[in-house]
Structure 1
Amino acid sequence: MTLLTLKKTIFFTGATGYIGGSVLWRLLNYKNANNFRIKALVRDSVKARRFKDEFGIDTVVGNLTELSKLQRLAAEADYVITTANIVDFSATKAILKGMKERNRATGKIPVLIQTSGTAVLDDDAAGMFTGEKVYDDMKIEEIEALPSSQLHRAVDSAIVSADKEGFVKTYIVFPSTVYGIAKNGFTEAGLQNPISIQVPQIIRAGLDRGQGGMVGLGKNMWPNVHIDDQADLYMTLFDRISNGYEDIPHGREGMYFAETGEHKLYDVYKRVAEVLVSFGKGKSCDPTIFTQEECLKYFGDGPDFYGSNSRCTASRSRSIGWLPSRSAADFMASIKPEVEALLAREWKN
């Protein structure tokens, strides 16, 4: 028997993404990395080859619409970590089907670490009020009470049901507003997107309209977490699971929020407007309200997402040893570097 056959296989999706690449980099540099074989699904054939040639990561060229390929790759894996297109129900079903095949063939229970998001908690505030409800990842009954129409909920429920069936152990990670410019070997090589989504979208909107804007009155609140702390949560989970810790909750109790503080959206809009003025890209330090047409243009869903409240406490995540090092103050301090990065990358002229 060769050494390779003794290694556990990790099937990974989202290698080139902001969160995914940051997690994959940590897996590559994990203290027990030699015990694992990583196989990543990558859409771009050139990037797939570079992951292999430059970093020794096995890659398969493909995407999440290739369901038979997803099923096969999941059936070959001891661990599946998903960080891409996390609301794709068909892809989730294919992965779970493959993991069930593995369980039947080997008698062993594979592990799924799935990415969701705290958008599952959002409301319809439209920026007009601060939500009072703060969810706690220790209070599972509150999460279960969320309507099935909430973003992520259908996929999350299917994953919990699979764990209950017994052929897989599932753990769901809920990123919130992830911020900070990712910096690692993959970003330096141009293989990973280093920029987040939420705050950069607000910045791009302000740059395009020449003035910082806001959804409604910006009274809604969201949690935040730095990209490095976010990636560390995945690794805290993986380290304990792969080392046989039996007390790490999974399935129904395997819900792990990621937050290190929260912010009122008005404060973000205000800071973006101020920074744009300092770079000569905005007219006023006071944000103006986005019209409905602007919301659709810049955010695609009107005020629904950027105007919503999503409030939570990551009690369970901290209980397993996650030790984030940033705070809400770090989040606000990150806005100017984000503007600078976008100006350098996308508004060079």
Structure 2
Amino acid sequence: MRVFVTGATGFVGTAVVQELLSAGHQVTGLARSEAAAQKLIDLGAEVHRGDLNDIPSLQAGATAADGVIHLGFIHDFSRFKEMCAVDGKAIEAIGETLAGTDRPFIVTSGTGVIAKDSIITEQDRLQDDHSPRSATERAVDKIVAKGVRASVVRLPPCTHGEGDKGGFIPLLTGIAKERGSSAMIKDGSNVWPAVHKEDAARLYRLALEANAPGGTRYHAVAEQGVPFKIIATAIGEKLGLPVISLQPDDIAAHFTWFAYFAQFNNLSSAAITQNMLGWTPIHPSLREDLEGDVYFPANN
């Protein structure tokens, strides 16, 4: 299968490209810079020039492909709502090209789009727009209604592994260094689901190859919920900083724009995904990566 991948040179995207190539697929990756283009060439993929705001380029890439995986996202979390709106427009543009073709379109969302007191499953759908990322799944539902065979992979708040430079763990680490302490909210009992990037990459391939109907949701969740206390404690210990407990009035001052994400309580299951795709996570847990040298190399 010839696969067009947006976000192909990103943290997860690179692993997805390698997974697809290893499985015998041809890959064309979206690249907006010379450095990104060269990275794709080095991986063994072809290059398609453009970016997420270049609608004609996105549609041209999708037209030439047998399937599309959309991993691209502008990771400016300080302008999260605006970036989510860009994502929705990109999805709709690609969807226009794929409508009526039966070609698979795998879109990336997050488990955080669902707000629920109990465990979140793949059967859960948006009830409100509490998360700006709702724009992603609203766009998917819109194109599915027009005949696009689009599915959604919901990534957890913490997708971890070697090479993670802009994910939530590096962001939390940077905040801890800046503040001189690693913080959790109250007792740190709110939980983040997690997955290793290599396990997530295999799920994307399996989702692409599956003959699932439009609107299917998958959860790339290896760990249902890691207590935030474990994350904050590991960061504090590795940096030699105190681990502190924040009261609600102190959250914004410590985390600033990241406060929204720090308060996630997002217990999520992947049982349905595992059953549908035969997907079983095998790579290190978040705690193993935190306690090893993935995020805190010994020579630093």
TM-score (norm 1): 0.74
Q: CA deviation at 1:267?
A: 2.0
Aligned length: 283
2:167 aligns with 197
Q: CA deviation at 1:288?
A: 4.3
| Separation in structure 2 between the aligned mates of residue 149 and residue 180 of structure 1, nearest angstrom | 25
1:325 aligns with 282
Q: CA deviation at 1:50?
A: 4.5
2:268 aligns with 312
Instruction: Note if contact 2:18-2:43 (Cα within 8 Å) is conserved in structure 1.
Output: no
Structure 2: 5+ residue stretches without partners: 75-83
Match of residue 110, structure 1, among 91, 96, 103: 103
State the AA in 2 paired with 1:43.
Answer: R
Looking at CA atoms only, which structure, 1 or 2, has the larger radius of gyration?
1
1:234 aligns with 204
| Separation in structure 2 between the aligned mates of residue 198 and residue 264 of structure 1, nearest angstrom | 14
| Separation in structure 2 between the aligned mates of residue 270 and residue 163 of structure 1, nearest angstrom | 43
Q: CA deviation at 1:269?
A: 1.0
1:156 aligns with 137
Q: Secondary structure at the match of 1:266?
A: helix
CA RMSD of superposed structures (Å)? 2.4
1:49 aligns with 2:4: no
State the AA in 1 paired with 2:121.
Answer: D
1:259 aligns with 221
TM-score (norm 2): 0.85
Distance 1:288 1:150, change over 3 A: closer
| Separation in structure 2 between the aligned mates of residue 55 and residue 274 of structure 1, nearest angstrom | 36
Distance 1:116 1:291, change over 3 A: closer
Distance 1:149 1:180, change over 3 A: closer
State the AA in 2 paired with 1:176.
Answer: P
Q: CA deviation at 1:196?
A: 5.4
Q: Secondary structure at the match of 1:325?
A: coil
2:290 aligns with 335
Matches for 1:40-189 after TM superposition, within 5 Å = 40-52=29-41, 54-85=42-73, 87=84, 88-100=87-99, 103=100, 108-122=101-115, 132-137=117-122, 140=123, 142-144=124-126, 146-166=127-147, 168-182=148-162
| Separation in structure 2 between the aligned mates of residue 195 and residue 29 of structure 1, nearest angstrom | 24
| Separation in structure 2 between the aligned mates of residue 49 and residue 339 of structure 1, nearest angstrom | 26
What do the CA deviations read for 1:146-168 (whole angstroms, capped 9, x no partner)?
A: 213433223213213322332x2
Q: CA deviation at 1:314?
A: 0.8
Moved over 4 A (4+): none
State the AA in 2 paired with 1:307.
Answer: Q
1:126 aligns with none
Distance 1:199 1:14, change over 3 A: same
